[in-house]
Structure 1
């Protein structure tokens, strides 16, 4: 019998910056949000506790994470988290790597790990290992969110009210522009709307989204809708290997009368679909997934979206002592 490969875990430091980013680019279940150029833009808000797992001397997996009140969370500054695996990672090897993460955390006196599964449609190849490990480790399901997603290889036609909105936008002479700057959308549409409706600011400041777009010009795009020379709506789009995701969408008070948002959605779905299979409308559930926002569900389904789910688990790190695949 061959000697068992040794797995080891290290906490991330800036010395790992290039190695981490090179791994993210080829991992089977990662997006550009896990790149340190993205993660670190708000490093002052979170105490990083990201981990690297090595199989022998070779980097095998990553866990983007932060620490809060003695709990490790993957990762509060990101839309989703995961146990990130190299492209050719196999189930049994991934299990040994994850078990070593639990052991590392337990030895460091960390009692629990909260981890959010990346929605499966973001994976470049099948990668449901983490969901299985949570089952085997008796992970507690904290929440299950419902996401509305369009599969562009099997699109369901926009319902009548959405098509009427697009035709209304055309009759009103609205025009779509792909732009290199975010200033007009942020200052004239997004910030005022969030302030007036919810008394909040965008998660990303104008300076932050501009910096991120500079680092990821192929992944972050700005699409604006104009009536003449006046911006009336816009969307900031995040593009991954597999998916189109409107990170921010907003229109001024004329959006219903002009059909500006219908036109914006129709454009980004069709413009970017050639290289992306999925269009992610994001979650439509609230309060840890226990309540559905029926208005959001209705609107997104009228665009042809249907449901995926994504889970958040809490696992006790001492589970490394008993977790077993019971291989036969």
Structure 2
């Protein structure tokens, strides 16, 4: 029986890692080392490479915290990454070798968050099944809202009514290279005011990532009389566009500038042939576990609910 060899990522693996990501069945640019390492000072990397007869067969973007390993806390999603030709039985064997490796390294728990299913039309649930069969529990679920762009759009009548009205309000949509107007004038102050929080990425970090991934990270802003009133930061992958950030000023709220931008982008990416428009999660620390207002807003824009799963397996 073929033996799989698991090793921790080292900076010397930079090229082989990124070459594998470019060919993988279930990877996005978030797994490129240039993306993963923009916040390397915040996480202890514990990424793994799995070889069979010296050929790289799978990778696991991961970090370590105390005696636990996570796939990866600094990324929106994660999971075991492999090529399309890798069959399920080998995925099972690779997972077993990873669990052995974790135990040998005194890891007590492994937390796993796969990519939402709509990112990959060829499926991506092998690892979830094998984790479950080895005692993994569903630690939690989050509702991930997304528009299926391959189906007729289901934008609510009220949204479309306002959209047609505000089309005549002299609003200009601009794709811009400069993230500063949106970050400084809209996103950061509005998040602080409404939620007492900050963007996950600092302005300097998003500018760095934009420079490294110019075709994957885009900024769309809405201006009225040369004043920015709303914006959406897009992360673009092969099949999916994700609104990583969306916000509007008080003036923009009055003219529903953010809805105007969302609807225009939904139509834009539908024409471009993207499969899904991902609007992210709606979770909140309350009894119901979600933000009712956000859920309603995204459903009215045509979203339906997909699961974002989180698993935990104790290492025995």
Q: With structure 1 as the length reference, what TM-score do the two structures score?
A: 0.93
**1:25 matched to 2:26:** no
| Residue pairs, 1:167-178, within 5 angstroms | 167-178=164-175
1:1-328 matches, cutoff 5 A: 4-123=1-120, 125-273=122-270, 274-287=272-285, 291-318=289-316
CA-atom RMSD, angstroms? 1.5
Are the equivalent residues in 2 in contact too, given 1:67–1:73 (CA < 8 A)?
A: yes
Shift of 1:295: 1.4
Q: Is the 8 A contact 1:71 1:114 kept in 2?
A: yes
Bigger shift: residues 145-154 or 193-202: 193-202
Distance 1:194 1:157 in 2: 28
1:287 Cα deviation after fit: 4.2
Deviation at 1:66, TM superposition (A): 0.7
For structure 1, the residue ranges without an aligned partner over 5 or more in a row are 319-328
Alignment: residue pair count: 315
Query: Which consecutive unaligned segments of at least 5 residues does structure 2 have?
Result: none
| Counterpart Cα distance in 1 of 2:165 and 2:54 | 60
* 1:73-119 deviation digits (Å, cap 9, x = unpaired): 11110111111112211100111111100000101111210111111
Q: 1:202 to 1:295 in 2, by over 3 A?
A: same
Deviation, structure 1 residue 16:
0.5
State the shift of 1:124 in Å.
Answer: 5.3
Cα shift at 1:30: 1.0
Partners of 1:85 and 1:290 in 2: CA distance: 36
CA distance in 2, matches of 1:241, 1:173: 33
- What secondary structure does 2:42 align onto? coil
Structure-2-length-normalised TM-score: 0.96
1:288 Cα deviation from its structure 2 partner: 9.8
Pairwise CA distance, 1:289: 9.8
Query: In the TM superposition, what whole-angstrom CA distance separates every residue of 1:203-229 from its partner, at most 9, and x where no partner exists?
Result: 111111011011111110000001021
Are residues 254 and 165 of structure 1, via their aligned partners in 2, closer, same or farther at CA, if it must alter by over 3 Å? farther
Distance change in 2, residues 1:126/1:215 (3 Å): same
The worse-fitting range, judged by mean Cα deviation, of 189-198 and 212-221 is 189-198
The separation in 2 between residues aligned to 1:184 and 1:272, in whole angstroms, is 24
